[in-house]
Amino acid sequence: MNRIGRWIGFVVPVAFFFLAFPGLALAAEEPAGLDAGDTAWMMTSCAMVLLMTPGLAFFYGGLVRRKNVLSVLVQCFMAMCIITVAWVVLGYSLAFSGDIGSGNLGGVIGGFDHFLLRGVGYEVRDGTIPHMLFMIFQCMFAIITPALIVGAFAERLKFGAYCVYIVLWLFLVYCPVCHWVWGEAKGFFGLGNNGALDFAGGTVVHINAGVSALVCAIVLGKRQGYPEKTSPPHNLPFAVLGAGLLWFGWFGFNAGSAGAANASASNAFVVTHIATAAAGLTWAILDWILTKKPTCLGIITGVVAGLVAITPASGSVNPIGALCVGGGASIFAFIAINLKVKLKYDDSLDVFGVHGVAGIWGALATGLWATSMVPGNEANGLFYGNPIQLLHQVKAVAFTIVWSGSISFILLKLIDATIGLRAENRNEQVGLDLTEHAETAYTLVD
């Protein structure tokens, strides 16, 4: 009897396991058209892009005051959690389903074809990788984009308001622009289908986040004591570590956007590195000329500006074009950041100056240096005999600025009118680490 009981105790759980997971009992065949090498590269790229958000957390965290470093880290990690869930439930569908509406009135946003990932399986989607892998790669972009905005309102936004804002922003700002550029948008809003080039997210990611960051900074107002009593970065080594992680992860960001391990990915990988190095060097030279000292903060800021600018161009410019894109990114971002105080807005960590301005430059520069000699790209820019491409880029930039700025403003005002945006004065003085999260980053032990 005991032996029978032991057999039942073994067989029943095993049978239940295989009934609950029938795919384990009968292995499914590999989908037709899948390439193992491309799939492996794209899974690697996913991991690299995900690492960029913790890298961003360290980059931003090192630049704020010590009493607010945890609040920045938590906001970035919360983006990894909450945006993933929102993307799976609805975001992917809004970005990559077919248009809602038709003709010129359609194309603003996708529909509900992939609600709760309906129809997103292991079949190959537009290439040689599983549809599900494409979905999660795009999820990594959706995560880091709202996390970029954190730098604009650092040290003064309530955590609850932040959570509500980034989810609504994903659905109403990010997903529409993503649909226009990378999705199936047709008609008036079909930027990608009508000629605009954005290989890895100049408009979708950087202009989108940069313009929204500027709006956040203006709506929230200045930090207490700004600019007279602002403090220098509390931990520059943190910021350097974050910049290094961003540089590393960006190879997956840009080269992964080829969707395969091919010549296009190779070009994106190479020009990403070249533009980034050129931008860091350019910023150091600017510092050297204007302040007599090349600063650590300046070099890593230039590096990030170069990464931003080459993002839309990485699938269409050659190495010489990349040098120009990277150098220009530092020049324009340097000017924008130095104008901030004169324009009297408090973008805490210069998100608009770096991501917005360098992103705009990168999108326009794509229309200048794009060349059909790059594998996978058929469009030439102005310097290769096609001025129309620059007009396509201008249109994409303008659409993104108007949409991102106006919808972000409306969202912020609605949230402020309901649950409030800004931390109380006392909480801001004490620091958001303690008042929002009941923790401190640095504990001294005897």
The letter for the amino acid at 97 is S
Lowest mean pLDDT, pick from 98-107, 175-184, 304-313 = 98-107
* Helices then strands, each counted (H, E), the chain: 18, 0
Q: How many CB atoms lie within 10 A of CB 85?
A: 11
Which pLDDT score, from 0 to 100, does residue 100 have?
Answer: 85
CA 412/CA 169 separation, integer angstroms: 10
Structure token digits, residue 178: 């993503």
The distance of Cα 286 from the centroid of its chain, to the nearest Å, equals: 27
The better pLDDT of the pair 222, 31 is held by: 222
| pLDDT at site 359 | 98
What pLDDT band is residue 6 in, cutting at 50, 70 and 90? low
How many CB atoms sit inside 10 A of residue 48's CB?
19
Model confidence at 30: pLDDT above 90: no
pLDDT score at 14: 52
pLDDT tens string 320-373: 999 999 999 999 999 999 999 899 999 999 999 999 999 999 999 999 999 999
Which contacts (CB < 8 Å, 24+ apart) does range 286-293 have? 286/330, 286/331, 286/334
Go through the domains of the chain in sequence order and give each one's CATH number. 46-437 (1.10.3430.10)
pLDDT tens digits along 257-301: 999 999 999 999 999 999 999 999 999 999 999 999 999 999 999
pLDDT digits (tens, 9 = 90+) for 68-95: 999 999 999 999 999 999 999 999 999 9
Residue whose pair of structure tokens reads 């207490």 in the numeric block: 224
Rounded to an integer, the average pLDDT of 13-40 is 66
pLDDT in tens, 223-256: 998 888 778 899 999 999 999 999 999 999 999 9
The overall longest dimension of the chain from CA atoms, in Å, is 89
Q: Which residue pairs, CB below 8 angstroms and at least 24 apart, start in 415-419?
A: 415/161, 415/164, 415/165, 415/168, 416/161, 416/219, 419/158, 419/160, 419/161, 419/164
